[in-house]
């Protein structure tokens, strides 16, 4: 019994009235939302593509856009509507609107107006799983991270990455592939991911990782640094999606928890160990450079010093970011599919290095075809297809449609600019 003496008919009237009021409220919210985006044409779905659930579903018309819809559809949705700005409105659990932008000038305006178009930090929260960092921050907090992190990245770091990569590849040739006339790789990512993580270990943390198995586990650990680094990267999606309290439910979850805890323990030990030394910003690896920049006396006076958790958070961004490994795998696949382009690449390398010497960092400007190959792979398979931004105030964009007519659009909502959908990217 819900209320003493309440008849079934009365209860039905109450429930019906509540549902009717909810429906009216929904319609009013939807109308207000559509007015706020200037009734811009675009997608209309039940679930938003900005939610985890919306991305788990395949593309189902009117229900969900599906995972990686921007990359799959590219510029087609814009071309169909004759505009380089379209909307995406979802209805569950409440009306939510997003604006997708492929107009080059509008994208430039968004990029250069950080104050007007800040990050929607709720969508970046997943990147804070190992600690606050520069990618998942905005405003004064972003400036605080930037003062330290920006000083640790320099041309010297790029040269260090080149040298570390060269050493890692030479070791691969001299140990794993030595004496083989032909090497078969079942999955390119299995190779490129190891290369990327080995480079991160050497250039990022100052820890050389051998291609040969290293079974020596240091005291206080259950995994080697190599295993912790590789397996954490492989099972990172579990760490990102499964809450800490649920990590003990399955053997796979418990393994993922052990891997990330082990790697965090290694990094904490590295930080504590290097705090006892006099570090300089021109030290060899990125972690040492980051610690040196963080220990600057001027930063201490301005109270922008990062704590250990934030230092680890910024270091973990390197591990989360597997874009280099996957972009390299795509480049290798494209070269295999187009052997004529592979031959052109090979011939240019021979012209630049006729004596067969090992290329150096200073050879990069001369290896223009190599750069073109990687740029084309990035264009066709971009690691990031959309960059979410929010509008801090009423926003106005002036765009030109396919007929050459200028249109002025005014709205306040989340905007997303797309590297896969802009005309300049598709036409390149």
Residue 386 covered by a domain: no
Q: What is the pLDDT of residue 413?
A: 56
Residue 102 pLDDT class (50, 70, 90 cuts): confident
Please indicate, yes or no, whether residues 67 and 181 belong to a single structural domain of this protein: no
Strands (E), 190-338: none
Please indicate, yes or no, whether residues 237 and 147 belong to a single structural domain of this protein: yes
- Residue 416: strand pairing partners: 100, 388
Tell me the pLDDT tens digit for each residue of 107-124: 888 888 888 888 888 888
Please indicate, yes or no, whether residues 206 and 256 belong to a single structural domain of this protein: yes
Residue 334 covered by a domain: yes
- How far is residue 232's CA from residue 238's CA, in Å, rounded to a whole number? 9
Residue 126 covered by a domain: no
Q: Which residue has the higher pLDDT, 5 or 309?
A: 309
- How far is residue 302's CA from residue 173's CA, in Å, rounded to a whole number? 49
Rounded (5°) CA angle 419-123-58: 70
Please indicate, yes or no, whether residues 62 and 207 belong to a single structural domain of this protein: no
Please indicate, yes or no, whether residues 179 and 317 belong to a single structural domain of this protein: yes
Q: What is the pLDDT of residue 414?
A: 56
Q: Considering only CA atoms, which of 255, 256, 226, 254 is closest in space to residue 238? A: 256
- 349: containing domain: 324-380
Please indicate, yes or no, whether residues 210 and 312 belong to a single structural domain of this protein: yes
pTM beyond 0.85: the answer is no
Please indicate, yes or no, whether residues 304 and 226 belong to a single structural domain of this protein: yes
Please indicate, yes or no, whether residues 185 and 333 belong to a single structural domain of this protein: no
Please indicate, yes or no, whether residues 195 and 300 belong to a single structural domain of this protein: yes
Question: Is pLDDT above 60 for 428?
Answer: no
Tell me the pLDDT tens digit for each residue of 314-364: 887 766 656 788 899 999 999 999 999 999 999 999 999 999 899 999 999
Please indicate, yes or no, whether residues 186 and 298 belong to a single structural domain of this protein: yes
Q: What is the pLDDT of residue 401?
A: 73
Inter-CA distances, 287 with 22, 271, 311, Å: 54, 8, 9
- How far is residue 273's CA from residue 279's CA, in Å, rounded to a whole number? 11
Residue 178 covered by a domain: yes
Strands (E), 40-194: 42-47, 85-92, 96-101
Please indicate, yes or no, whether residues 65 and 92 belong to a single structural domain of this protein: yes
Longest Cα separation, the chain:
97
Residue 14 covered by a domain: no
Please indicate, yes or no, whether residues 369 and 410 belong to a single structural domain of this protein: no
Domain boundary (321, 338, 358) is at: 321
Residue 26 covered by a domain: no
- What mean pLDDT comes out for the span 170-176? 92
Domain count, the chain: 3
Residue 5 covered by a domain: no
């Amino acid at each position: 019994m819900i209320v003493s003496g309440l008849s079934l008919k009365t209860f039905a009237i109450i429930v019906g009235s509540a549902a009717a009021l909810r429906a009216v409220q929904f319609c009013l919210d939807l109308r207000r939302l559509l007015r706020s985006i200037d009734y811009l044409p675009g997608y209309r779905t039940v679930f938003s593509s900005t939610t985890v659930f919306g991305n788990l579903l395949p593309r189902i018309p009117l229900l969900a856009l599906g995972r990686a819809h921007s990359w799959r559809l590219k510029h087609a949705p814009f071309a169909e509507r004759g505009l380089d700005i379209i909307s995406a409105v979802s209805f569950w659990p409440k009306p939510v609107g997003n604006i997708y932008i492929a107009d080059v000038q509008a994208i430039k305006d968004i990029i250069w107006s950080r104050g007007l178009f800040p990050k929607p930090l709720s969508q970046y929260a997943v990147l804070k799983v190992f600690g606050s960092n520069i990618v998942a921050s905005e405003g004064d907090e972003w400036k605080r991270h930037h003062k330290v992190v920006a000083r640790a990245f320099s041309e010297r770091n790029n040269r260090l990455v080149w040298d570390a990569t060269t050493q890692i590849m030479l070791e691969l040739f001299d140990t794993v592939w030595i004496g083989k006339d032909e090497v078969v790789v079942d999955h390119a990512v299995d190779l490129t991911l190891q290369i990327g993580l080995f480079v991160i270990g050497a250039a990022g943390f100052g820890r050389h990782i051998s291609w040969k198995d290293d079974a020596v586990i240091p005291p206080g650990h259950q995994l080697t640094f190599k295993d912790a680094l590789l397996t954490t990267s492989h099972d990172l999606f579990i760490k990102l999606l499964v809450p800490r309290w649920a990590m003990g439910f399955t053997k796979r979850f418990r393994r993922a928890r052990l891997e990330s805890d082990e790697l965090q323990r290694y990094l904490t030990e590295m930080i504590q160990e290097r705090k006892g030394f006099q570090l300089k910003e021109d030290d060899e690896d990125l972690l040492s450079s980051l610690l040196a920049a963080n220990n600057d006396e001027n930063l201490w006076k301005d109270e922008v010093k990062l704590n250990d958790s934030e230092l680890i958070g910024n270091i973990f961004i390197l591990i989360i970011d597997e874009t280099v490994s996957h972009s390299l795998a795509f480049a290798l696949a494209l070269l295999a599919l187009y052997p004529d382009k592979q031959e052109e690449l090979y011939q240019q390398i021979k012209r630049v290095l006729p004596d067969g010497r090992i290329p150096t960092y200073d050879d990069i400007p001369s290896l223009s075809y190599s750069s073109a190959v990687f740029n084309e792979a990035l264009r066709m398979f971009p690691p990031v297809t959309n960059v979410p931004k929010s509008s801090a105030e009423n926003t106005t964009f002036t765009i030109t449609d396919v007929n050459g007519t200028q249109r002025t659009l005014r709205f306040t909502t989340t905007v997303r600019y797309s590297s896969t959908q802009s005309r300049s990217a598709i036409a390149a």
